[in-house]
C-alpha cells in the first residue's frame, strides 16, 4: 500500500502540474508536441491531432513539450514567438495548479475532520475541567475576561496562561455559569491542559476558510525552511528525494488516509514553491529569463537559454542523486 500511495501521489501531483502548463498553452494557441507523465521509455502513447500523449516507465517526472520551448522556432504558434505575458502565464500555470491542489486537499481534510467549535464534547475523568464542574454540552463564552469566539481562542487563553487557575464562563441550558479550573502544564503538549475536547462541526464554508488559512500557514513555513536552507541553519543533507517521500508516505499511511492526503497537500505546495525558484530548468528560472529579455531583447537566444536550462537539469539530477543517496543511508540501511 505504501508503494501504491506513493505512486498515486507522485503521478497526481506531476499530472496536475503539467496539466496546468498544457491547458494554458492550448488556451494561448501554443503548439504542444507531447504531453507526458513519467520519464524514460514510453509504455503507452497515442497521437491525437498535433499532440502525442504518453505514459512513461518511471513515475518521477513528466513534461509538456511545447514547440519553441528550448530552441529557436519559426513556427508562428511556437512558445518563443508568443507575447511575454502569455509565456509568463504558461510558465506559472503548473505551480498555480499545484497551489490550487494543495488548497483543495486541505479543504477536504478540514471538512472530513471537522472544525472545532466552542462547545464541549468530552470531559476527561478526574481532569481539572471535571473537578471544576464543566460538563459535555457546555459552550465556552469567556476565559479570564477574554471572549471566546473559536476553539483557537480557548487554546490561547488556557494553554498559554501564566496563572494557576482560569475563570471560565460557560453557557449551560440557556444560563451562564462561571467555574474556576486549575491549570496543569503538559510537557509533551507544551501548554496547559484541562481535559476537554470540542464538538467538531462539518461545515463546508468553514472548511474552505480553514483550507485557505492552512495553505497560507504552510506556505509561510516552507519559505522559512528555504530561508534556513540558504543561510545554513538547515543542512542540505536534511533534504529528501523520492526514497524519503516513500518513507514519509509509509509513516503517514500508518496513521490513516487523512495523513496521506495531508502529505500530498504538503508535497503539492512544495512542488509549487520549488518550481518558482529562479533556477535554470525550473519554471521560475524560465520566468527570470523572460524578464531579462524584456530589458535585453534577443541578446540571449532561445538556443542559449535552452543550453543553460539543460545545465540546470543536470545540476538538479545531481542534487536528486545526492539526496537519494542520503535517503538510502537514513531510511534503508538501518532496516538491514
What residues are labeled active site? 18
**Residue given cell 501521489 in the structure block:** 9
Within the chain, strands assigned E span 32-48, 51-66, 115-123, 139-143, 146-147, 165-172, 175-182, 184-186, 191-193, 196-201
Q: Which of 59, 77, 58, 78 is nearest to 69 (CA)?
A: 78
Angle at 268 between CA 264 and CA 269, to 5 degrees: 120
* Kind of pairing between the strands at 115-123 and 51-66: unpaired
Query: d(Cα 122, Cα 244) in Å, to the nearest integer?
Result: 38
Q: Which of 110, 84, 105 is nearest to 269 (CA)?
A: 105
Query: d(Cα 301, Cα 80) in Å, to the nearest integer?
Result: 10
Angle between helical axes of 242-255 and 302-327 (0-180°, round to 10): 50
Q: Write out the H or E segment, with its range, that includes residue 30.
A: none
**Which residues share a beta bridge with 166?**
181
Contact 151, 118 (CB under 8 A): yes
Q: How many residues does the chain have?
A: 336
Amino acid at each position: 500500500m505504501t508503494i501504491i500511495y506513493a505512486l498515486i501521489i507522485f503521478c497526481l501531483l506531476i499530472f496536475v502540474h503539467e496539466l496546468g502548463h498544457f491547458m494554458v498553452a492550448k488556451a494561448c494557441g501554443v503548439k504542444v508536441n507531447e504531453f507526458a507523465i513519467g520519464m524514460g521509455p514510453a509504455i503507452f502513447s497515442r497521437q491525437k491531432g498535433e499532440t502525442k500523449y504518453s505514459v512513461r516507465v518511471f513515475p518521477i517526472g513528466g513534461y509538456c513539450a511545447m514547440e519553441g520551448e528550448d530552441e529557436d522556432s519559426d513556427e508562428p504558434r511556437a512558445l518563443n514567438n508568443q507575447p511575454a505575458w502569455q509565456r509568463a502565464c504558461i510558465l506559472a500555470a503548473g505551480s498555480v495548479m499545484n497551489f490550487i491542489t494543495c488548497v483543495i486537499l486541505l479543504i477536504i481534510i478540514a471538512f472530513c475532520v471537522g472544525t472545532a467549535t466552542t462547545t464541549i464534547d468530552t470531559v476527561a475523568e478526574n481532569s481539572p475541567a471535571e473537578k471544576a464542574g464543566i460538563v459535555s454540552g457546555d459552550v465556552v463564552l469567556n476565559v479570564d475576561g477574554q471572549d471566546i469566539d473559536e476553539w483557537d481562542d480557548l487554546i490561547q487563553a488556557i494553554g498559554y496562561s501564566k496563572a494557576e487557575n482560569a475563570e471560565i464562563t460557560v453557557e449551560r441550558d440557556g444560563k451562564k455559569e462561571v467555574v474556576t479550573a486549575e491549570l496543569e502544564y503538559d510537557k509533551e503538549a507544551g501548554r496547559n491542559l484541562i481535559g476537554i475536547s470540542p464538538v467538531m462541526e462539518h461545515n463546508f464554508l468553514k472548511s474552505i476558510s480553514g483550507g485557505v488559512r492552512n495553505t497560507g500557514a504552510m506556505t509561510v513555513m516552507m519559505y522559512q525552511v528555504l530561508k534556513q536552507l540558504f543561510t545554513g541553519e538547515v543542512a542540505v543533507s536534511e533534504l529528501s528525494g523520492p526514497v524519503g517521500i516513500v518513507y514519509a508516505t509509509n509513516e503517514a499511511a500508518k496513521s490513516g488516509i487523512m495523513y496521506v492526503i495531508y502529505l500530498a497537500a504538503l508535497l503539492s505546495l512544495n512542488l509549487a514553491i520549488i518550481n518558482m525558484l529562479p533556477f535554470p530548468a525550473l519554471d521560475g528560472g524560465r520566468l527570470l529569463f523572460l524578464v531579462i529579455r524584456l530589458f535585453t531583447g534577443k541578446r540571449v537566444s532561445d538556443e542559449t537559454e535552452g543550453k543553460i536550462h539543460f545545465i540546470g537539469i543536470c545540476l538538479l539530477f545531481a542534487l536528486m542523486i545526492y539526496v537519494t543517496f542520503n535517503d538510502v543511508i537514513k531510511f534503508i540501511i538501518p532496516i538491514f
